[in-house]
Chain A
Amino acid sequence: MLSYIIRRILMVIPLLLGITIVSFAIMKLAPGDPASLMMDPTISPADKERFMERYGLNDPVHIQYLKWLGAMLQGDFGTSLIRKGVPVIEMIMNRMPNTILLMVVSTILSILISIPFGVISATRPYSKLDYSVTVTSFFGVATPNFFLGLILIMVFAVQNNWFPTGGVATLNAPFSIWDRIHHLIMPAFVLASADMAGLTRYTRSSMLEVIKQDYMRTARAKGFRENKVIYKHGLRNGLIPVITIFGLMIPSFIGGAVIVEKIFTWSGIGLLFVDSAFQRDYPVLMGLTVISSVFVVIGNLIADILYAIFDPRIEY
C-alpha cells in the first residue's frame, strides 16, 4: 500500500508540470494584458510600456514560463501585478480558509443529505418516497448553480431578509460563530446541491444492487434487524462505488466554488481566480492553477486510498 501511494505521488509530478505548461500557454494566448487596463489619458503609453518591461511581460512566452517555473520551484510564486508588491502566496493564503470552509461544509452537507436519501430510496424502490427523491434530485442536477444561487438570494435574502445577500461575515459586527454559519448556509447549500443529486442517484443504484446480494439474505436469515442489515452489511458495500464517484467530484467542487463564490461574494480563491483572470494578473492565476491542481490531485489520491481501505477485495 505504501509503495502504491508513493508511486501515485511520483506520478503527480509530470502531471502538474503538464498542467502548468498548458495553463501558461492558454493564459498568454488569450488576448489582453494587464497594461491595457490602465487605459487612462493621464497615464502615458510610455509609462505603460515601462510597466510591461519591468515585469518582463514583453519577453518571449517560453522565457517567461521558465523564469516563472524556476522561481516557483524555489517556493516563490512571485508578486501580484495588480496588487503591486503583494506576494501571490499571501493573497492565496488569505483566501484559502474561506474556500476550504465552504468546500468542507458543502461536502458534509451533500453526504449527510444524499446518502440517507439514496438508501431510503433503494430500500423502498418505486414507492412515493423514492419517486419524490428521484424527481428532486433531477431538479438538482438540472438547475445550474448560478441560477439556484440567484433565486435563493432573491427569495431568502432580498425579499425575506432571512439570510445575508453575501459575504463571509457581517460588516462592522463582532465575530460570532452563528454569524459565520448564517453566511455559510446558502452558498454551501448551492455548492452541495448539484453533487447531492448525483450522489443520491449513485447511492440508490449501488444499494439496489447490494440489497439483492446473498449475504444480505444470509444476514436477515441470521435474525439481524432490518436496519442493521441495511446499514451495517449493506451500506459498507454499497458505498464503495460512491467513494470513487466522490473522489471524481472534488474537481467539480473547485469549479463550482468559482461560480458560487462570485454570486455570494464569498471571498475565497474562486473569487480571486475570476478577478485575476479579468485583470490578467498572471502570477496570481498561475499560483492558483498550481494550488488547485494540487488539490484535485490530492483529492483523487484520497479517493484511491479510501477505496483501498473500504474495499477489502482490492490489493496493492
Chain B
Amino acid sequence: MKLRKASWWLISLTLILSIFLTACTGGNSSEDPKETPGDDGKTEEEATGPQQGGDLIIGSTGAPTVFNPLYSTDTSSSDIEGFIYDSLVSSDTEFNPTMSMAESIDISEDGLTFTAKLKKGIKWHDGEEFTADDVVFTFSIPKDANYNGERGSAFEAMESVTKVDDYTVEFKLSKKDASFYPVSLSYYILPEHILKDVPVAELGEHEFNTKSPIGTGPFKFVEWKDGEYVKVEAFDDYFKGHPYLDTLTYKIVPDMDAMIAQIQAGDIHFAAGVPGTDIETVKSFPGVKVESGLGLSYTYLGYNQKNELFKDKKVRQAITHAIDREAIVSSVMNGDGKVAHVPESPLSFAYNDDVPKFEFDVEKAKSLLAEAGWKDSDGDGILDKDGKKFSFTVKTNQGNKVREDIVVVLQEQLKEVGIEAKPEIVEWSAFIEQISAPNWNYDALVLGWSLSTFPDQYDIFHTSQMEAGLNFVWYSNPEADKLMEEAKQILDQDEYKAAYADIYKMLAEDQPYTFLYYPNVHRVMPADLEGYVFHAKDDFYDISKWWLKK
C-alpha cells in the first residue's frame, strides 16, 4: 500500500511539474499587453473608409530562420523582414523601382556613381532617427573582409559607400551594373546605432537577428515562438502612415494539408502559395476569398548537356515538339497556368515571346529525331543510335504534386515518339545535391525558377556558370554569352529590353530547357480584407494599407 502511494506521488509530481514548465514558457505570450480589444466603439457611419484594428493570422509552411536581410536565405524570413524593415527603393506591381526611404536617386553620366537623397523624419522602432549613417553602415557590411553571409555577390560591383551629409549617401561602382539600382539598393537597412559596435564576423549570429530586430518598417517585432509563430504589431510612427492592422501573426504549419484544414477552421486567415489543385476546395470555405495572378516564375524540363543524348540541339527541339504543354497545363494543372516559350515571365518588362516556338507536333518531333540519326532499328518501340537506346530518367523533387504528375505525363507523351523517359522523384535537399555541381548526376529534370523582379539570365545560362554556378545543364553558346555580358552594362530599360529580346531568341532556338509553363499564384484571405493589391513577387505588398471591414 505504501509503495502504491509513493508511485502515485511520483506520477502526480511529474504531471504538475510538466504543466508548470509549459505554463512558464507559455507565459510571455499571454501577458502581451497589446491584446486587441474588439473595435466595438466604431459606429456604422464610419464603416466606409479604412478601419483601424484587427489581427491577421498568416499561415506558412516554412519556418523563418533569422531576421537579418544580409544573412537570411529563406522566404519565410524575408516575409517577416518585409514587415520589420524598409529599404531605399522597392518595386511597384510592374516591378519598376519606386522610392521608399530614398527621396531621390541620381545616377552619374558614366553610370558609376549613385547619389541617394534620404527622406527626413523616418524613425526606427526604438524612436531614433534614420540617417545616412544607417545606410553607410548597412552597405558596408557585405563589403567587409569578415562578412560571412551569403549575399556578397549582390554587392560585387559596389566599390564604396560614403556619407555626404546626414541625408545624402554616395555609392561608387567599379563597373557598370544594370542590377545595382533595382536589386542592391532594395536591400533592407539595418540600424547603425544598435549594431555599430558588433564585429562583422559576429553579426550573422548576433542576438539582434533573432531576439530583438529593430527596423523602420510598418510593424514592430513582438515575439518569436520557435516552431509556432512570429508576432509583430503596428508601428505608430511608420513614415508611410500608421498601419491599419493591429498585429500580424505569422503562424507555422507543417504542410499544405494542415494549412487548408486550418483555413477551413478559421485558425489561419491569410495564406500564400496554396496550390492551384486545392484552390476550388478553398474557395468553398465561408468567409474566405482567393486572389490569383500569374506568379513571377516558370517551370521547365532541363537537359543535362554533358549527356551525349542531349548534346544535339535538334534532339532537344524534337523533345519539345513531342511534349503537349497545353495538355499539361489544362489536365495536370486544371488550366492554372500559361504555356512558356522563354525563361522570362510575361510580367517582366523584358518579356518578349517573338522567338522560335516548338509547338506540340509529334510528326515534326519524329522527323527531327530521324535527322539527328535516331531510328528504331530493333523494332522494340524505342529509338536507338549506334546500339544505344534513347532512354533516360527524369528527376524531380518530392512534395510538389504538379511536378510529380508532370514527370509521369512526360513518360507517356515521349513514348509516342519512341523515347523512354523514366520518372524519378527525390527528396528536395538530396535532389539539389545530385543535380548541381560537382555531381550533375541526372539526365533530365523538372524544376522551376522563381525570377527576380530584375531580369538577368547570366547566372543560369552563361558558360562561366557551368562548373560551379547555376548553369547545371551545361548549356553553352558563345554568342549568347557575349550578349549577356553586354546586357549587364546597359542601364537604360528600353535598350536592356532590346538586348534581351535577342538573348531570348537564342535561348528559345537552342532549347537548353523545354520551357513548360508559368504557374499562377493563389493567395487566400479573409473575405472582408480590403486594401490588398496583387504583386506577383510580394505576397504582402503594401501591407500597412490592408484593413479589415467589420
Which residues of A are interface residues toward B (Cβ below 8 A)?
30-34, 36-51, 54, 79, 82-86, 91, 94-98, 100-101, 104-105, 108, 153-154, 157-158, 161, 164-169, 171-175, 177, 180, 236, 262-263, 265, 267, 271-272, 274-275, 278-280, 306, 309-310
CB pair A265–B253 under 8 Å, yes or no, is yes
* Minimal beta-carbon separation of A226 from chain B (angstroms): 19
A85 touches B205 (CB 8 A): yes
A271 to B97 alpha-carbon distance, docked (Å):
40
Q: A residues within 8 A CB of B15?
A: 104-105, 108
Distance between Cα atoms of A89 and B11 in the complex (Å):
26
B427 and A32: CB pair below 8 A?
yes
B265 CB-CB contact with A under 8 Å? yes
**Chain B residue contacts of A43, Cβ below 8 A:** 73, 150-151, 153
* Residue on B nearest A34 in the bound complex, by CB: B429
Q: How far is the CA of A154 from the CA of B423 in the complex (A)?
A: 33
Tell me whether B22 is interfacial, beta carbon within 8 Å: yes
Distance of B145 from chain A, by nearest CB (Å): 12
Residues of chain A within 8 A (CB-CB) of B55 are 172
A85 closest partner in B (C-beta): B205
Would you call the interface of chain A mostly helix, strand, loop, or mixed? helix
The 6 A-B residue pairs with the shortest CB-CB distance in the complex, in nearest-first order: A85-B205, A32-B429, A175-B30, A31-B430, A267-B227, A36-B432
What is the CB-to-nearest-CB distance from B256 to chain A, in angstroms, rounded to a whole number? 13
Nearest CB in chain A to that of B251: its residue: A171
B346 located at the interface, meaning its Cβ lies under 8 Å from any Cβ of chain A in the complex: no
Closest partner residue, chain A, to B27 (CB atom): A175
Looking at B22, B71, B430, B437, the one whose CB has the most chain A CB atoms below 10 A away is B22
- Which of chain B's residues has its CB closest to A269's CB? B227
Question: What A residues does B264 contact at CB under 8 A?
Answer: 158
The chain B residues found within 8 Å of chain A, CB to CB, are 3-4, 7, 11, 14-15, 18-19, 21-27, 29-31, 35-36, 55, 57, 63, 65-66, 71, 73-74, 148-154, 183, 204-207, 209-210, 225-229, 247, 249, 251-254, 258, 261-262, 264-265, 267, 427-434, 436-437, 449, 452, 459-460, 468-470
CA distance A33 to B152 in the complex (A): 21
- In the assembled complex, which residues on chain B have CB atoms less than 8 Å from the CB atom of A86? 210
Say whether B73 contacts A38, CB under 8 Å.
yes
- Residues in chain B near residue A97, CB distance under 8 A: 18, 21-22, 24-25
A-B contact pairs, 7 of them (CB 8 A): A33-B433, A42-B183, A97-B21, A101-B21, A173-B30, A175-B29, A267-B227
The residue of chain A having its C-beta at the shortest distance from the C-beta of B459 within the complex is A41
**Does A165 lie within 8 Å of B205, measured CB to CB?**
no
Shortest B397–chain A CB gap in Å is: 10
Contact B436 A36 (CB under 8 A): yes
Chain B residues within an 8 Å CB radius of A309: 3, 7
Please, how many angstroms separate the alpha-carbon atoms of A31 and B29 in the complex? 39
Distance from B184 Cβ to chain A, minimum over Cβ atoms (Å): 10
* Residues on the A chain within 8 Å of B66, using CB: 83-85
Cβ contact within 8 Å between B18 and A41? no
Question: Across the interface, do B258 and A265 meet the contact criterion of CB distance under 8 Å?
Answer: yes
Question: Shortest beta-carbon distance, B522 to chain A, in Å?
Answer: 20
* A133→B26 CA distance, assembly (Å): 38
Contacts of B150 in A (CB 8 A): 38, 43, 47-48, 50-51
Query: Is there contact, CB below 8 Å, between B254 and A265?
Result: yes
- CB <8 Å contact, B433 and A101: no
Given contacts A47-B150, A85-B210, A267-B227, contact A40 B258 (CB under 8 A): no
